Structure 1
Amino acid sequence: MNISTIGAIIKKERESCGLTQWALAKVSHVSRVTIVNLENGKVGDIGAVKLSEIAENVGISLFSMGKKVDFIKMTLGNVNTSYKNAMSKSDLEKFMLSGKIQPGLEGQVLHLIDETPTSLVSSTVKQIAAKK
């Protein structure tokens, strides 16, 4: 796979996530020009780690071991840390689809918003949307 193909895939996934080039650049810690050049297949010298980070921020992995990642499970592991009542898979899906917080899960939702990496939230939303 060459850089033009990778750039086209990243652009397609970025657009399907509803991210602007500026937003992707910000969460990936690169300039918007870098994203523009990458999507056009004209990026100069970009390292594998940075390229992988950009890809993961739109929910794709460049270094897959052939196993699908369960982003919902990862998100639940992140948000349920240190809480007496655990948020279930169904609770997370209901919240992400409706935006309504169920009583007793306020702490987990705050943790999701404040502490969970944007790339993980984005990937979780895509996984839930793909199921519907």
Structure 2
Amino acid sequence: MNLAQIGEEIQSKRVHAGLLQEHVARFAGLSRVTINQLENGTLKDLGYTKLKAVMEVLGLDMETVQPSGLTSALAVAARSISTSYRDVITADMLSTMLRSGVAPEQFQPHLMALLDETPLPVVVKAVAEAATPEVPTKKIMKHLSLWAKEWKVCRTVW
């Protein structure tokens, strides 16, 4: 959820409660202009403490929830990195490669795509899904880092 979506929810709650922007602003210790920009999606940034104050006034919380569209990051990542190649990596194959640190030569381009092009939230969740007590996420991240260094990938986060 981004700040504009949160602003829409805040506006909906405020209107439903019969409050003016001025009321919410005063109760949260902010300006009416800030509340207006938040509700209209034009506010670029708002710190956690200020946003929390606004949400508490309206009885909202900052509970984190999993995005509904991402049920298996391993499956999403495997499908994504296989699109441009004849050989297809399955979620199970990707999981095994991540845990073992072994990248068969025919799948190295796929794994480079994972390191360079796959959205980082998908990679992070795929790593978490692949991890086991015997092969924790820290070890898998080390495998990714070694591959990135060996293959000189463009994304510098590794």
Q: Structure 2 length as normaliser, TM-score?
A: 0.42
Structure exhibiting the larger radius of gyration computed from Cα positions: 2
Q: Structure 1 length as normaliser, TM-score?
A: 0.50
